[in-house]
Amino acid sequence: MTLSRLPRLFVYYRGSAFTTHYHKYKYAQIMRHYAVVATILSLLLTLSGCKTDITFAIPGHPLLFGDEPEYSKTEYPIVLVHGLYGFDDIFGHEYFYQIPKVLRNGGAEVYIARISGTMTPEVRGEQLIPQLEEFAAVSGQSKFNLIGHSLGAPTIRYVAAVRPDLVASITSVAGANFGTDVADAEFLDFPPTRLITGLMGNLLGHAIDFVSQDNFEQSILATLDVMSVEGIAVFNSKYADALPSALCAADGNSLVNGIYYYSWGGNVATTNRFDPADLVQAAVTKLIPGDDDDGIIPRCSMQLGHVIRDDYKMNHADHLNWFLGLKATDAPYAPSLYRAQANRLKGLGL
């Protein structure tokens, strides 16, 4: 399916404005119906195992506008590093949905890391390092702009600390830089529940590996331990570069040891009632005190280096453009944030 086959109403052509013949209420009604259709098609395609290049987008989505040929063309390649239970591609659905495509359209050289979906940042970082060395051999470049989502943020921070020669910049997207209260949930202190969590969590990790054709060691309990208050304190004492002086201070150094550090995130748990991921985040956010989180990670935990913003009206999955770009009506599209960051790095000669 291509955009040309979608109803003409849904295509926002370059240089034209949405027709004034439709009142605002009519536009909203149409978008609600379209969101339902897009979600259903997404689930059917995923369940069917079909490999697809279909791009669903609604008016205003950057994927409909093409791109400036070199807008995202950074000096050093970009490497996208997934978070907990992440993957590169499952049945045609990317973890960073459509984001590599948008970056490449703007001239960027983009690689996708393949590392364990669980484990500690150190273990995942050690898995990433040889891949960076392979990417360097392929690209001819010696450094990379690393972008990590969620658990991917402390993972790439570890790499920057132990192999700074491979890193030009670090960008944390909804990163768990100060852990998450989810890892300190009381049920994890009860041995039987902890055992079940470990077994089921590892099984899920291996299942994701199987369908994504990977085979990594898994330990959800190792992940939860390091993401707890005590665990992340130990981790951050070893790898403190660009962290703020205190939780929520947002004053981390943007340049440390020749490496630039950036971060952004959101603070809304649910953003679109048609997005299946919102159901999960609506449940998980109840484990986090207050309401200043993205459904998985507290807002203050996301801060690292130069904080671009930590209050986007986006939840944890929205930063990945899940599902099919569904989002809050007044939130930015995830691909546009990655494009802007690539252009920012380009401006620094990175």
Active site residue 241: no
Per-residue pLDDT of the chain (350 residues; tens, 9 = 90+): 444 333 333 333 333 343 333 344 344 444 444 444 444 444 443 333 333 333 444 434 544 445 578 999 999 999 999 999 888 877 777 889 899 999 999 999 999 999 999 999 999 999 999 999 999 999 999 999 999 999 999 999 999 999 999 999 999 999 999 998 888 887 788 889 899 989 998 898 899 888 888 888 999 999 999 999 999 999 999 999 999 999 999 999 999 999 999 999 998 877 666 666 666 767 677 777 777 888 889 999 999 999 999 999 888 888 898 765 566 567 688 899 999 999 999 999 99
Map out the domains of the chain as residue ranges: 3-48, 67-347
Task: Point out the catalytic residue in the list 82, 149, 306, 316.
Answer: 316
Q: Locate tokens 């490496």: which residue?
A: 259
Spell out the CATH class of 67-347. alpha beta
Which of 317, 288, 72 minimizes the C-alpha distance to 174? 317
Q: Beta strand pairing status for 306-312 and 259-266?
A: parallel
List of E strands, the chain: 78-81, 89-90, 93-94, 110-112, 144-149, 167-173, 255-256, 259-266, 306-312
Q: For 261, list phi and psi in degrees, rounded to 5.
A: -125, 130
Active site residue 149: no
Active site residue 33: no
Task: Point out the catalytic residue in the list 150, 169, 172, 301.
Answer: 150
Task: Point out the catalytic residue in the list 88, 293, 294, 310.
Answer: 294
Contact 159, 146 (CB under 8 A): yes
